[in-house]
Amino acid sequence: MSRRWDAVPPQDGRRIVITGASAGLGLETARVLAQRGADVVMAVRNPAKGEAAAAQIHGSVEVRRLDVADLSSVREFAADIGPVDVLINNAGVLAVPYALTVDGFETHLATNHLGHYVLTNLMLAQVRDRVVVISSDAHRSADLDLSDLNWERRTYKPFTAYASSKLANLLFLAELQRRLTASGSTLRAIGSHPGSTATSITGNTGNAFKTWVGSWGHKLAGMPVWKGALTTLYAATMDVPGNTFIGPDGFKEFKGWPTAVGRSRDATDPELAHDLWVVSEKLTGTSFRNE
């Protein structure tokens, strides 16, 4: 693997769905893939914002409404999306104040994990190549309690809730690949994380100081968006084994060029991955579907 990889291969004839594609890493990923010839579906919560973002892109793009924090929206989107080559589960929130979604789930859990869990399972029979799951190195700071996913007993900690949802992403990745392999499927589930990248994801913390520190910290010390998106692009386009996790190759994966990286002990726990899948299945009423 080249340390200085930025050579996204041609994507002609491939159809790629990207959640949260109207800004930040999702928009940059959409821009590059469309430029390289892919037919890109920008799955966004706000279609007007999505259309404005799509106008910046040269290539084949389609904007569709999808709010991953609302399972009725997820089911509506998945029902008529048609065949796709790659599903990129990119949409996410970080360190937002405590709230429950319309389905009654804590916002990080719903947006970062459960919505994508349902979307992936509903779309799986339509996916021809791979599912890309965007996580974060923050997963190492998780406190994932399967008996209290909605933070009803514990004191709510926004960043810990975010980190826990990112651990859930990696556990989902591992269990999805295990189930795909066991079923004889050739589909792959690949994970990635962008390190520290200057995006607007820290803009909804509800705390002006934390929002300012997060925003300027990433701008001053992190990577520009085009470089932060390379890990997602690598995971989406290169020939790597299922359950590979791609991240920056620099110190503590803070920034750098795409490479295969490790993950925490909890993220590689097969029992925890299985148990989270079972809980997710019960909470959403959605099970593994690949045919």
Tens-binned pLDDT, residue by residue, of the chain (291 aa): 447 898 999 999 999 999 999 999 999 999 999 999 999 999 999 999 999 999 999 999 999 999 999 999 999 999 999 999 999 999 999 999 999 999 999 999 999 999 999 999 999 999 999 999 999 999 999 999 999 999 999 999 999 999 999 999 999 999 999 999 999 999 999 999 999 987 554 445 455 444 444 444 444 567 999 999 999 999 999 999 999 999 999 999 999 999 999 999 999 999 999 999 999 999 999 999 876
Give domain 15-284's CATH superfamily. Answer: NAD(P)-binding Rossmann-like Domain (3.40.50.720)
Annotated catalytic, 162? yes
Which tens digit of pLDDT belongs to each residue from 8-30? 999 999 999 999 999 999 999 99
Q: Where in the chain does DSSP place strands (E)?
A: 15-19, 39-44, 60-65, 84-89, 127-134, 188-192, 245-248, 258-260
H/E element, 75: helix 71-79
d(CA 1, CA 89): 24
Domain-wise residue ranges, the chain? 15-284
Q: How many C-beta atoms lie closer than 10 Å to residue 259's C-beta? A: 18
Contact 141, 163 (CB under 8 A): yes
Structure-token match 């269990």, residue found: 175
Q: Name the active-site residue from 98, 117, 156, 162.
A: 162
What are 272-287's pLDDT values in tens digits?
Answer: 999 999 999 999 999 9
